[in-house]
Amino acid sequence: MQILVATTNPHKLEEINPVFREFGIEGIGLSPIQQQIPEPDENQDTFLGNAELKALYYAKETRKICLADDSGLVVDALSGRPGVHSARYAGHTGARAERDAANNAKLLHELTGIPEAERRARFLCAMCCASPDGRIIAVSEGAFGGAI
């Protein structure tokens, strides 16, 4: 059985597939089909909302069960920013490494002058699995706390 994993990041597939294999499932990524299917506009206010949007969209477009996620960093001292805008926080497009570097630089700049004790943050991740008929099969959310 195959499940589409809504990602072009090969590292996500490397992390997910060992778990899937235990259940006889193969995770396939978007790379082979991304030229034919445009990305949906991630316009939801929550990580779970964006994960559901992507899972439902790609399941319908590909007629495959789809697992999608949305994740990002929530920094208390920045009123929860970058939040759902984490991936494009600095507004850069292009290669992932360039976007990540620009996002990190903007975040650190915004934290200038904020004492270390007040730099609490959480990495949040929401995942959703949807079927081609528009049903949400499962959702999960998790958080990992720390400081910047």
Which of 65, 148, 137 is closest to 104 using CA atoms? 148
Q: How many CB atoms lie within 10 A of CB 86?
A: 20
Look up 45 and say whether it is catalytic.
Answer: no
CB 52 within 8 A of CB 60: no
Residues, the chain: 148
Q: Give the C-alpha separation, 49 to 44, whole Å.
A: 5
Give the DSSP H or E segment for 70.
strand 66-75
Alpha helices in the chain (DSSP H): 10-21, 47-62, 96-110
CB 82 within 8 A of CB 70: no
Query: From the candidates 69, 70, 100, 133, which is the catalytic residue?
Result: 70
Classified as helix, coil or strand, 62 is helix
Would you please indicate which residues are annotated as catalytic (active-site) residues?
A: 70
